[in-house]
Structure 1
Amino acid sequence: MNALKDIQGVIFDYGGTIDTNSRHWAEVLWAKYVEHQIPVDKESFREAYVFGERALAKYPFVQPWHDFHDVLSIKAKLQMEWLAEQRKLPMDELKLQSYATKVADSCYEYVLDILQVTRPVVEELSKKYKLVLVSNFYGNIQTILKDFGLLDFFDEIIESSVVGVRKPDPAIYRLGVDAMGFVAKNVLVVGDSFSKDVVPAKAVGCRVAWLKGEGWGGEVIDESVPDVIITNLAQLPVLL
């Protein structure tokens, strides 16, 4: 039995799906901390990451015109400043800026490499299906999609900071289904997060392709919930 039979449209998550092809952004960033020998332990980094994400969600550090390199620079700066304030890093402004620049630059290059795999998948599917993007983001996702040559592939964009609802609230996926214009059972959701993509998408009646990879940890996983499980976005087209 084809689990993805009669799919008419595809909803994509962005962060962790299109830009990292299944790696949680915390793991991508931590790998760059290690690569550039930033002298903090992983637990301290995780605390800095959480601080930064909460700050970005609460305050308008990111503006609509910021591209993804700008976002990475802001994230890295917030993390480094927090680590210094917590005395996990020396309070040396030049060194902190150097660390932040190295992390942002190398993460951006990482995404450019990943897009060599994921962008062709999105492009291919856009020729066969209506595509909608549903993302928890900062109000600048269209700038980022345009910068990466992805914007024209999507018929609609549902961005949390614009619509006022965030994953894991199923309501954001309901907005995606409404924008799609098809019944939920004929809509496929593709995302990397079990709790923020798989569970809420199934709650509104969509079928789901879980892009299983290097997650944040701590989630309760039931692999019977998604309709299909993939580990690389390039595996998706042959299933449709």
Structure 2
Amino acid sequence: MFNLNKVKGILFDYGGTIDSNGMHWAEVIWMAYEALKVPVSKDIFRDAYIHGERTLGKNPIVKPHHTFLDMLRLKSDLQIRWLEDNGHLPPKRNTMELPNLLADWCYGYAREAIDNARPILEQLAERYPLVLVSNFYGNIESVLKDFGLDHLFGSIVESAVVGIRKPNPEIFQLGVDRLGFPADEIVVVGDSYDKDIIPATQIGCQTIWLKNIGWSAYKGDETADIILSDFTEIKQVFAL
């Protein structure tokens, strides 16, 4: 049960929480495909998305200096190349412009979401120490700086740096240790039930689930101390 009076620190997820209002990034990118009328089915797109994520996970393609736009262009390029190589895009779509167009669309989506989230984070940072706990590629500091969020987090626990990935609860324990409070005095805010809420609950943290469209359909029995449908609802939770 959520107890605001006990909260002394907050652990935030980044991707999918702060930068897309709870929407899984595969869904955001798919919206870009639809907006740009890329002639592939959603199932085929998801295969391309998985290929891109696995490639980035296995190879040090993303560098520490890369911004989010840089990263989106890398992701889009991997996806489009896979689609072309596997015969899912007709020759007329074989263009160097498409990955950049997709990346630009997604970057605009992220910037709007972050512009809405930033003032709330700033208010929270005045009251509580904030720590970021994220599965990311080693460039999260460059991403935060680009979006004007780098001053808000006292510490960052990034999977590529610490060598632990969600849903391993140990990555959240690192965040708890950096805040220096008992787990039940810390609330974790995240968009992924499996990767954020379950492991945070396992180590005793309070949880706020920003529930939107995920990678998979929900079973219906998922729960958290608080469930939100929009990032701005955090203002009501913390009486901002």
* TM-score past 0.5 threshold: yes
Question: Shift of residue 219 of structure 1?
Answer: 4.8
Question: Shift of residue 162 of structure 1?
Answer: 0.1
Relative to the length of structure 2, the TM-score reads 0.95
**How far does the alpha carbon of each residue in 1:149-192 deviate from its partner, in whole angstroms, 9 at most, with x for none?**
10110000000000000001111001110111100000000000
Question: Which of 221, 236, 239 lines up with 2:237 in the alignment?
Answer: 239
For residues 62-101 of structure 1, the aligned pairs below 5 Å read 62-90=62-90, 95-101=94-100
- Is 2:27 aligned against 1:21? no
CA RMSD of aligned residues (A): 1.4
The alignment partner of 2:127 has SS state of: coil
Relative to the length of structure 1, the TM-score reads 0.95
Q: Which residue is 1:53 aligned to?
A: 53
User: Which 5+ residue runs of structure 1 have no aligned equivalent?
Assistant: none
Aligned residues: 238
Structure 2: how far apart are the matches of 1:48 and 1:5? 45
- Following TM superposition, the consecutive aligned residue runs of length 4 or more in structure 1 with deviations greater than 2 angstroms are 1-5, 218-224
The alignment partner of 1:222 has SS state of: coil
Question: Shift of residue 234 of structure 1?
Answer: 1.1
Structure 2: how far apart are the matches of 1:2 and 1:198? 13
Question: Shift of residue 97 of structure 1?
Answer: 1.8
User: Which 5+ residue runs of structure 2 have no aligned equivalent?
Assistant: none
The alignment partner of 1:5 has SS state of: helix
Question: Shift of residue 233 of structure 1?
Answer: 1.3
Structure 2: how far apart are the matches of 1:204 and 1:140? 27
Q: Which residue is 1:179 aligned to?
A: 178
Report if aligned partners of 1:68, 1:144 keep a CA contact under 8 Å in 2.
Answer: yes
The letter of the residue matching 1:146 is K
Report if aligned partners of 2:2, 2:226 keep a CA contact under 8 Å in 1.
Answer: no
Give the stretch that moved more between structures: 150-159 or 230-239. 230-239
- Is 2:193 aligned against 1:165? no
Q: Which residue is 2:104 aligned to?
A: 105
Give the stretch that moved more between structures: 155-164 or 215-224. 215-224
The alignment partner of 1:127 has SS state of: helix
Q: Which residue is 2:121 aligned to?
A: 122
The alignment partner of 1:15 has SS state of: coil
